[in-house]
Amino acid sequence: MPTHFQGDLQTVRALSAFINLIRASDSTITKTTAHLEELGVTPGQFAVLEALLHLGPMCQHTLGEKLLRSGGNVTLVVDNLERHGWVRRERQVNDRRMIQIHLTPKGRRLITRVFPEHAKMVVKVMSKLSAAEQEQLRKIARKLGRGAEELCTERMKREKEHDNDQTE
């Protein structure tokens, strides 16, 4: 559904493209993460588990940057993962301020079992596009994401300042 906004052509085109992008994103995420609910895993928890599986242990700050999440959000997700016994926090010896997040054996078993199913679901949803269309979408999304990178950096900076204000 395009925008109902009556404005100049450039604005109407941009708003319509944005609406389609958001609807497609929401629909794709819903379809590809529905199976996670059955396992009691949220999409945010899945993202953390997947990052730790494929990238290895990392501090919460780095995890937040990789997932484009605020420090407060990552803390909440890691708290819940830790409560399930899927991750553990490890304070670093050389810098006690740094806390690294590790998958536990239980968490590794979960994500290695769930990830292949998730990948199959992504392939199924994305199969609506040809291989060439998937590659074109990847390039367009990357271009759009890179253009928004500076906006994300600003947002993360504001969220960090907000988190700091809340703790003072």
Domain-wise residue ranges, the chain: 41-128
Condensed to tens digits (0 to 9), the pLDDT of residues 64-102 reads 888 878 778 889 999 999 999 999 999 878 877 788 999
- Helix 105-126 vs helix 43-55: angle between axes, to the nearest 10 degrees? 110
Which residues, listed in sequence order, are joined to residue 101 by a DSSP beta bridge?
A: 58, 89
Alpha-carbon distance of 35 to 33, in angstroms, equals 5
Write down the pLDDT at residue 104. Answer: 97
Alpha-carbon distance of 28 to 129, in angstroms, equals 13
Condensed to tens digits (0 to 9), the pLDDT of residues 31-44 reads 988 888 888 899 99
Q: Say yes or no to pLDDT of 161 above 80.
A: no
Hey, which CATH number is domain 41-128, 1.10.10.60, 1.10.260.40, 3.40.50.10360, 1.10.10.10?
A: 1.10.10.10
